[in-house]
Structures are given as structure tokens and as C-alpha cells.
Amino acid sequence: MVYVLSSNLSVERHVGWLEGDCPTGIALCHKGLWRTNFRGKDLSCAVFTGSNLKGANFSDANLSFADFRKTNLTGANFDGANLEGTLFCGACLKEANFENANFCRTDFRKADLTNTNIKKENVSDCDLTKAVLVGTDLGQKDSRMSFYLMESKGEITLMVCEEDRHYVLLTITKKGTLRREKDIPAHLGFALDSEGRIVLLN
């Protein structure tokens, strides 16, 4: 069952409702919910499409299969959140905090992850196709490695630096397609699957 909040509810009623239990599958589309505290809430299957959630706190929340497509989540806090199957397609996630979050089949296609951190030793099957990764901290276990982006002649290249050696992982071409480089060492914790999705490994 999907619960829909009427658009004429006041901010005070929103706050009062959030202090109780959130029904799963609730729809909060195109709402102004900036800096709202969802800490520890069960928001599985919730729909936030097109909402302004700038600075919202989702720490320790259950967001499995929630829909954040085209949502403003600038500076949002997802520390410890369950993000299994969560949709962030086209979302603005600049400077968001994903420390200790549980990633599993999380969809970041075309999301803006500028200056975010997705530090997690077990990042399972995240789809980062055409995502903006400028300044993104991918948080690999080996502190000697660092990831960075280079732009040249309209193409964007994702690279990794390990001590004094630099490896090209993939290139986003002018046409928006992904080109995986050959002979990438397995220990770098990176792969591109058969569907063109970026997969970060243990």
C-alpha cells in the first residue's frame, strides 16, 4: 500500500508525523523537506522523487528500495543507512555523507556525487553509469591508492594512483559511452560488468 500526504499539510504536521512511525512506501514527491531529520526511520520503498532534501539527516535509516530520482540531496547525511536497491538516478548528492552506509545494488546513474564519500569496504554492485565523480572519495581499503578524474578533449578518464604508478580504469567518451581499459590489475578493486556498470569490489 502506498501512503500519500496531501500537498496542503502544514510543516508542523509534517514534523509531528515524522516523530511517529513512518509507514513504508510513503510518497513525499516534490516536497520542501530540507534539513528534515529522518534518523533511524523505516522508509523502505518510500518515494521522494523531485523533493528538496538538502541537508536532510537519514543516518541509520532503512532506505531499502526507496526512490530519490531527481532529488536534491546536497549535504544529506546517510551515515549507517541501509541503501539496498535504493534509486538515486539523476539526484544531486553533492557533499553527501555515505560513511558506514550499506550499499547493495544501489543505483547512482547520472547522479552528481561531487565531493561525496562512499567509504565502505563492501560496496556491492553499485551502478555509477554516467555519474559525476569529481572529488568523490571511493574509500578503498588500501590507503596507498587514490582515485581521481582527468578531463581532456571532452573525454573524462577515471584513474587510480598506487604509490608511483598510475592506471587508467575507464574513459567516458564524448558520446557518453564507457570504455574500459584492458589489463587492469585485479587488486585495484574495480570492474566493469557486461552491462557497462561500474562495480567496486572488496
In this predicted structure, the answer to whether residue 63 has a pLDDT above a threshold of 50 is yes
Domains and CATH numbers, the chain: 1-137 (2.160.20.80), 140-202 (no CATH)
For 15, list phi and psi in degrees, rounded to 5.
-60, -45
- Among the residue ranges 54-63, 85-94, 164-173, the one predicted with the least confidence is 164-173
**pLDDT on residue 6:** 36
In this predicted structure, the answer to whether residue 21 has a pLDDT above a threshold of 60 is no
Q: Are 101 and 118 in contact (CB under 8 A)?
A: yes
Once rounded to an integer, what is the mean pLDDT over residues 35-41? Answer: 94
pTM of the entire predicted model: 0.61
Q: In whole angstroms, what is the distance from residue 35 CA to residue 56 CA?
A: 4
